[in-house]
Amino acid sequence: MRKNAYIGLGSNLGDSLRIVHRAWQALGRQPGIEAVALSSPYRSEPVGMASPNWFINGVGLVRTTLSPDELLARLLVLEKEFGRQRGRGTSGYQDRTLDLDLLLYDDLVYAGERLVLPHPELHRRLFVLLPLAEIAPTLRHPVLARTVQELLRDRLRESDRPLCLKVAWPETVAAGS
């Protein structure tokens, strides 16, 4: 049975627009994963880390026959294929070529050793809520019982929100190259 899953995509190293779009295409080529919808890209200042490199973020909807843990494993493999290095002994957030986060998996509420669903920071992150609201504004958070649009409206009212600006995919990316 296919499940809907929402994936956060981000990059702040290299040609981030192309990396994020290529990662989305690669995700759709994975067995058991169908790429359904990808939001616009958003340029956002780093959150929770000091870096001069701003991020490109987006959110995609996939349909999958994989379990949440199997899907997470695929995301981690893709990150590595795109040059993501997870340093041992490092703490906190680091600059990265690609970051793939499993945000929601249908309405599953789950806490495993390596995965928590829904993503525990989803409702606090403007760089997730803006693109998610583009593709699923009426989707309900399974714990907070609020729509993505309502969560976004609440986050936009906060004065300390980080800057997050909608940008466009480059023409060559939008054309499929």
User: Mean pLDDT in each 10-residue stretch from start to end of the chain (177 residues)?
Assistant: 97 95 97 98 89 95 98 95 71 81 97 95 95 98 98 87 86 57
> In terms of Cα–Cα distance, which of 20, 96, 92 is closest to 53?
96
The alpha carbon of 6 is separated from its chain's Cα centroid by a whole number of angstroms, namely: 7
For residue 113, the one-letter residue type is E
> In terms of Cα–Cα distance, which of 86, 159, 174, 101 is closest to 132?
101
Rounded to the nearest 10 degrees, the angle between the axes of helix 68-81 and helix 16-28 is: 140
- The backbone region for 35, taken as left when phi is positive above 0, alpha when psi lies in -120 to 50, beta otherwise, is beta
Q: Specify the pTM.
A: 0.92
How far is the C-alpha of 141 from the C-alpha of 108, rounded, in Å?
10
Give pLDDT, residue 92.
Answer: 55
Give pLDDT, residue 18.
Answer: 95
Superfamily the domain 3-174 falls into:
7,8-Dihydro-6-hydroxymethylpterin-pyrophosphokinase HPPK (3.30.70.560)
Q: Does residue 18 contact residue 82 with C-beta atoms inside 8 Å?
A: no
CA diameter of the chain? 43
Name the phi and psi angles at 107, rounded to 5.
-110, 25
Q: Does residue 84 contact residue 97 with C-beta atoms inside 8 Å?
A: yes
